[in-house]
Amino acid sequence: MMRIILLGPPGSGKGTQASLLEEKLGVPKIATGDLFRDAVRRRTPLGLKVKEIMERGELVSDGLTGQLIKEKITQPECHGGYILDGFPRNLNQVKYLEMIDSSRLEVVIDLDVEEEEIIQRLSARRVCPQCQAVYNIILKPPKKDNKCDNCQADLITRDDDRPEVIRKRLQVYRRETQPLIDYYQKKGNYKRIKGTRSVEEVFKEIWEWLSPYLANSGLRAGK
């Protein structure tokens, strides 16, 4: 019945680690950024509202974001637990989450990566517009030049991974999201993990730290 929150700046590896946790625990990952991007692609009313905000690297309003997250976490598949990637992003969202789903054990994993490294990572990030696989042209290049390994689609650079937008997103992170570190540190069940090692090493550390919580939460690996 646990909620796992992944904190950390854009490009710190939250999405990658959330997917690994999702696979291992068999509970859904909810990534607000992915949900918004999907709405933009499908040109839904929500997508039309958030497109330009995202392209500028700013935060979508708490009202729209809250509505989206509430719709997701009240679904039956989230009853057994869920993993949040990219939410909450400010203190208002923290309070909202605690209000709509208060009775859970909550653990927070904060991926720590320095800004210089973030800028390098995001500039080298490429994504598949079809299956959403994520690559890094330096650290994790696709097998064939600029083609997705899974579906052969041409890889693209996310609109908000352009250098001027990256700077803006980092600014927003520092101002809005960094205060959450202090909040969750005081609240407890918080772990900062160095996010600059390999995906496997980071995951191993997350898993080791999570294990005692998992034992008490009814969640188990390999579901």
Tell me the closest approach of the beta carbon of residue 138 to ligand AMP, in angstroms. Answer: 20
125 is catalytic: yes
89 is catalytic: yes
8 binds ligand AMP (CB under 6 A): no
H/E element, 135: strand 134-136
**What is the Cβ-side half-sphere exposure of residue 205, based on CA atoms within 13 angstroms?**
15
Question: Using the rule CB under 6 A, which residue among 54, 155, 170, 206 binds ligand AMP?
Answer: 54
9 binds ligand AMP (CB under 6 A): no
C-alpha dihedral (64, 12, 198, 209), degrees to nearest 10: -70
- For the record, the structure tokens of 27 come out as 């509970």
Tell me the closest approach of the beta carbon of residue 62 to ligand AMP, in angstroms. Answer: 7
- For the record, the structure tokens of 138 come out as 């330096």
Residue nearer to ligand AMP on the CB measure, 34 or 205: 34
Segment near ligand AMP (CB under 6 A); pick from 59-67, 138-146, 197-205, 213-221? 59-67
Compute the distance between CA of residue 20 and CA of residue 222 in angstroms, rounded to an integer.
11
DSSP state of 153: P
Tell me the closest approach of the beta carbon of residue 8 to ligand AMP, in angstroms. Answer: 10
Question: Using the rule CB under 6 A, which residue among 8, 9, 86, 195 binds ligand AMP?
Answer: 86
Question: Using the rule CB under 6 A, which residue among 36, 135, 173, 190 binds ligand AMP?
Answer: 36
Tell me the closest approach of the beta carbon of residue 212 to ligand AMP, in angstroms. Answer: 28
Compute the distance between CA of residue 172 and CA of residue 201 in angstroms, rounded to an integer.
28
Sign of the CA dihedral 22, 93, 14, 123? positive
Please tell me the chain's helix, strand, coil percentages from 3-state DSSP, rounded to the nearest 5.
50, 15, 30
Which residues contact ligand AMP by CB under 6 A? 10, 32-33, 36, 53-54, 57-60, 65, 86-87, 89, 93, 160, 169
Q: Annotated catalytic sites, by residue?
A: 14, 89, 125, 158, 169
